[in-house]
Structure 1
Amino acid sequence: MAYDLQKESDVKEYIEKLGIEYRFGCYSEKKPDVCHLLGDYLESIKKDFEKASKVYRSNCDDYGYGKSCLKFGHYSFLGKGKSSANEKGDPKQAFKYYERGCDLKDPESCLHSGLLLVSKSLSSSIERDVKKGFELLTKACKMDNANACFYLSGMYISGVPKKDIKPDSKPTDPSDFIVQKDMKKAFEFATRACDMNNMYACANLSQMYQRGDGTEKNEQKAADLKKKALGMQDEIKKQQRELKFQQGIGT
């Protein structure tokens, strides 16, 4: 049957049929990719976050679908999809599912599990483990996750001292660091992230070429990368303006 997506009745019928197809493909044919699509359908179309959460969790636990582990990790972290709106997020459970997704070779899951472990702000909820977090971020970067490469670059730019170093001290011995400052490695990871169009990495890379940090000075490359970063920034602003305009039409 051909649907006229300009007609509201046809759109509603198409959406309902889509939901039926996803349910059949998930529950009857047991296809993990279709189960994930069912979760997305329940989330974005039906706005039934509790059901979507259950689908994502089941698809991760029962079928080992990495992207669903990532989604349920997000739900767990935010406290989304709970039966009670007052239930808070659970970083420990989120990490469990992010790590599961990472084991299943989902790069975004590796990124988020790594970020949870290196975060200082979550140390009261989840034990900080910079070494393991660094390894997870490295794994994500190797799977071409631009954000992970960018964060690794930042860790090499500043260095990460051991937590038992006094706040007012300035550690200099290599043994004082979990990740030692290394501008050459920072440059390498920033280059990789910029090549994958991470705007912030391109901006940092521009400064590195300008100052000669981790590489030889090159004003032309610095200018080119600055132009690239500003171009990406303008594109993001344009997309945000278009989104706000479209939202305004519907009000």
Structure 2
Amino acid sequence: MAGYDFKSEEDVKEFLKNLGIEYRFGCYSEKNPEVCHLLGDYLESIKKDYEKAATVYKSNCDDYKYPKSCLKFGSYMLLGKGVRQSDYKCAYDYFNKGCELGNDASCLHQGLLSICDNEDKRLVRDVAKGMSLLEKSCNLNNANACYYLSGMYISGIKKEEKGENLPGLESYQVPKDMKKAFEYALQGCNLGNVYSCANLSQMYRKGDGVEKNAELAEKYKAIALDIQEQITSNKTLSFQEGLPAT
């Protein structure tokens, strides 16, 4: 980045142009999947060319098995972004590819598609599989997956029995379980999910799934407020997410 004055509009344009050239070379000539993903991010964030970005993400997933690209293309298919129309089944398939490659967010989205009803008849609702995928995502340290699991155990998931009113626990495919809800809320809070921390505070306050403890209720309330403040003050664009953390 030496030699660029980022207060100069012309220098910024030149920098972005050269960045695109660098990513294209790294992807198409050097066949580097990390750089291919960065090229997709560049096309999406800088050029706003969602069709080309979708093509890059899809190819990088199919050809190089790059999990973040599987997640991105799955998200594009889900939203109908950069493609003709949304396709839940195709989105599910790409989330599945990403999940099998160890991408926590792919497991999360695949799990939610398995559990939630949608208009695509090609997808059969499978709550047990969806819960298993959410557990995998949570164990891969996805805070949102832990939060969703906790919420599902708080409310339970009812069976869909046509014309039948089943009594009590028989009406639930996933019964309410406040102890499990607490465990997943704790895991989600430790991973930084603000809603998990807020729920944890309420559980300690009421004694739901855990012994009442007013001190810990206040502790997790304070943690939730602190995370919320950080979220509010740190709303920044994350670019070059394809690069590994160092």
Amino acid at match of 2:133: L
* Residue 225 (structure 1) aligned with residue 220 (structure 2): yes
In 1, Cα distance between equivalents of 2:167 and 2:186: 29
In 2, Cα distance between equivalents of 1:130 and 1:36: 32
In structure 2, the residue matched to 1:247 is none
In structure 2, the residue matched to 1:136 is 133
Amino acid at match of 1:48: D
**Per-residue deviation, 1:33:** 0.4
Alignment of 1:206-217 (within 5 A): 206-217=201-212
In structure 1, the residue matched to 2:79 is 78
Alignment of 1:176-215 (within 5 A): 176-215=171-210
In structure 1, the residue matched to 2:242 is none
In structure 2, the residue matched to 1:44 is 45
Moved more, 225-234 or 126-135: 225-234
Partner of 1:6, secondary structure, is coil
Q: Judge conservation of contact 1:209–1:218 (CA < 8 Å) in 2.
A: yes
In 2, Cα distance between equivalents of 1:170 and 1:29: 62
**Per-residue deviation, 1:234:** 3.5
Amino acid at match of 1:140: S
Amino acid at match of 1:72: F
**Per-residue deviation, 1:20:** 0.7
Amino acid at match of 1:183: M
Amino acid at match of 1:233: Q
In 2, Cα distance between equivalents of 1:122 and 1:153: 26
Show CA shifts across 1:200-226 (max 9, x none): 111111111011111100001111211
In 2, Cα distance between equivalents of 1:172 and 1:72: 39
**Per-residue deviation, 1:189:** 0.5
In structure 1, the residue matched to 2:112 is 115
The runs of 5 or more residues in structure 1 that have no matched partner are: 244-251
Show CA shifts across 1:176-214 (max 9, x none): 533222111111110000011111111111111011111
Moved more, 221-230 or 57-66: 221-230
| Alignment CA distance shift 1:114-1:205 (3 Å) | same
| Alignment CA distance shift 1:16-1:204 (3 Å) | same
Identity %, equivalent residues = 56
The runs of 5 or more residues in structure 2 that have no matched partner are: 238-246
* Residue correspondences, number: 236
Moved more, 54-63 or 10-19: 10-19
In 2, Cα distance between equivalents of 1:153 and 1:132: 16
Name the structure, 1 or 2, with higher relative contact order (CA <8 Å, separation 6+): 2
**Per-residue deviation, 1:170:** 4.2
| Alignment CA distance shift 1:123-1:213 (3 Å) | farther
Amino acid at match of 2:14: E
Instruction: Give the structure-2-normalised TM-score.
Output: 0.89
In 2, Cα distance between equivalents of 1:165 and 1:239: 47
* Residue 150 (structure 1) aligned with residue 147 (structure 2): yes
In structure 1, the residue matched to 2:158 is 161
Amino acid at match of 2:188: A
Instruction: Give the structure-1-normalised TM-score.
Output: 0.87
**Per-residue deviation, 1:4:** 1.5
| Alignment CA distance shift 1:203-1:159 (3 Å) | same
Amino acid at match of 1:223: E
Moved more, 118-127 or 32-41: 118-127
In structure 2, the residue matched to 1:32 is 33
The CA RMSD over aligned residues, in Å, is 2.0
